[in-house]
Amino acid sequence: MNVDLSEKIPNNVNLSNDKRLQRALEHWQPSFLGWWKDMGPARYQENDVYLRTAISVDSAGWANFDYVRMPDYRWGIFLAAPEKDRVIGFGDHAGQPVWQEVPGEHRNALRRLIVTQADTEPASVEQQRRLGETCPSLYDLRNLFQVNVEEGRHLWAMVYLLHAYFGRDGREEAEALLARRSGDADRPRILGAFNAPIDDWLSFFMFTMFTDRDGKYQLLALAESGFDPLSRTTRFMLTEEAHHMFVGETGIRRIVQRTSELMKDAPGGDVRRAGGIDLATLQKYINDWYSLSLDLFGGEISSNAAEYFANGLKGRANERKAADHVALEGAYDMQVPEGGRLVHQAVPLRNAMNEVLRDAYVDDNQRGVDMWNKTLAEAGHEGRLTLPFRGFNRRIGLYASLHCTPDGTLLSREEWTRRRDEWLPSESDRDFVRSLMRPVYEPGKMAGWIAPPSKGINNQPLGFEYVRLD
């Protein structure tokens, strides 16, 4: 499964055999590059960055490291190898052969899923475009750009599907993906979290921890799809996604480590005065990004999700592990707000699929938080970080109507408004965090609020020149 890198658009889908598709994508490419120039990283476009580029989808070839200028990155179209005799794994069509073309009756739903997935990829690049100017180290600067170019490639992955399988309206959607802008009042990105600003590195690490992890779970659910090209393209995206979450999880672990040191060593244990990020501030940023990211799973009770499942379009993460792939029997025990309290309600399983996926996501996050707490425990500190109650600070779904504390105690609107800044970053918290964001460009050096990583990228030393700045 090698890739012809001499082609304008590297790919393993035999693009040169389909002239019409090739022309359509070659037409879209300059628009993409124009968008990258306008909305991609605000600086450093001319600098050499030590990047990983996928040159084939097998384990040996998908991670090829070299210095590249970002605009020269080979954004390609790579699908995981087809599985022989693959059948639909769940829903009403379980056991039937997967589709290689879009079934007419599911066309709108599939297009919508693909467009929603696609929209998040350029959105994240837009959100992160100014971070390079305040990087805590060259190592981190390189990781930011790695994430950015790969999100660009994920956009390519979805645009390929739109162009190859959805005809004229697919091409129009592909144009629209380059026209929406994160945070723009008139033409915002589709999903909430992708319009929130990411203007400091603490937010960046929270985003790659929590929001990219929504990406992981949505991609796992789409990898189960009966529409085989969607399954194959998302399966390959997942291999790249792992690094994005690594950046977030280890980024915060490094901050926690530095904070632990300062709690011991700083005069009076005053972390902020010593130029670090105190645990209370870290907790508020967790509360903020975790709740925003929980919203990305959609409503707890969703007829959209039930239909996606029934029709074999979007499954559960690792559907194979489920005992019953039809899910017509059984119910999900859900906590539902009713008359000022939470009551249990049995929800038909198919209608609870968003919540089932969210459960897997919550567990995965908890594992990461446990790692951070291990760092605190090993340093002899009593303080711990936690994930707030799932209904905390939600804007989508059943809990959007609630006001509650991070531990789930219900509050009146007045009390919520009065006490909000105890739980979420206040303007002054944000100002403080921003005040720490001064760039460090010397190879091997780190900003004072974050510990160095335990090792470099691709076995390179920490002092390696991950980005050549001259």
Site residues (CB under 5 A) for Fe ion, limited to 204-223: 212, 215
**Residue of 28, 204, 297, 309 interacting with ligand BYC (CB under 6 A):** 297
Asked if residue 121 binds ligand BYC (CB under 6 A), the reply is yes
Nearer to ligand BYC, 232 or 258 (CB): 232
Binding residues for ligand BYC, rule CB under 6 A, total 25
CB of 293 to ligand BYC, least distance (A): 8
CB of 387 to ligand BYC, least distance (A): 18
Residue 406, CA atoms < 13 Å, CB-side half-sphere? 20
Nearer to ligand BYC, 10 or 215 (CB): 215
Asked if residue 128 binds ligand BYC (CB under 6 A), the reply is no
Pairing relationship of beta strands 467-468 and 341-348 according to DSSP bridges? unpaired
Site residues (CB under 6 A) for ligand BYC, limited to 196-215: 211-212, 214-215
CB of 301 to ligand BYC, least distance (A): 8
Residue 344, CA atoms < 13 Å, CB-side half-sphere? 4
CB of 428 to ligand BYC, least distance (A): 28
CB of 240 to ligand BYC, least distance (A): 11
Asked if residue 195 binds ligand BYC (CB under 6 A), the reply is no
Asked if residue 218 binds ligand BYC (CB under 6 A), the reply is yes
CB of 127 to ligand BYC, least distance (A): 8
What the block records as the tokens of 153 is 């490639």
**Residue of 238, 336, 385, 396 interacting with ligand BYC (CB under 6 A):** 396
Site string for Fe ion, 121-140 (x = CB under 5 A): x-------------------
Nearer to Fe ion, 281 or 293 (CB): 293
Asked if residue 386 binds ligand BYC (CB under 6 A), the reply is no
Residue 303, CA atoms < 13 Å, CB-side half-sphere? 0
Asked if residue 244 binds Fe ion (CB under 5 A), the reply is yes
Contact range with ligand BYC by CB under 6 A, out of 52-60, 166-174, 225-233, 290-298: 290-298
**Residue of 74, 93, 129, 154 interacting with Fe ion (CB under 5 A):** 154
CB of 121 to Fe ion, least distance (A): 5
Site string for Fe ion, 160-199 (x = CB under 5 A): ----------------------------------------
**Closest by CA position to 427, among listed 281, 218, 309:** 281
CB of 6 to ligand BYC, least distance (A): 29
User: Which residues contribute to the site for ligand BYC (CB under 6 A)?
Assistant: 113, 116-117, 120-121, 124, 151, 191-192, 211-212, 214-215, 218, 295-299, 302, 304-305, 314, 354, 396
User: Which residues contribute to the site for Fe ion (CB under 5 A)?
Assistant: 121, 151, 154, 212, 215, 244
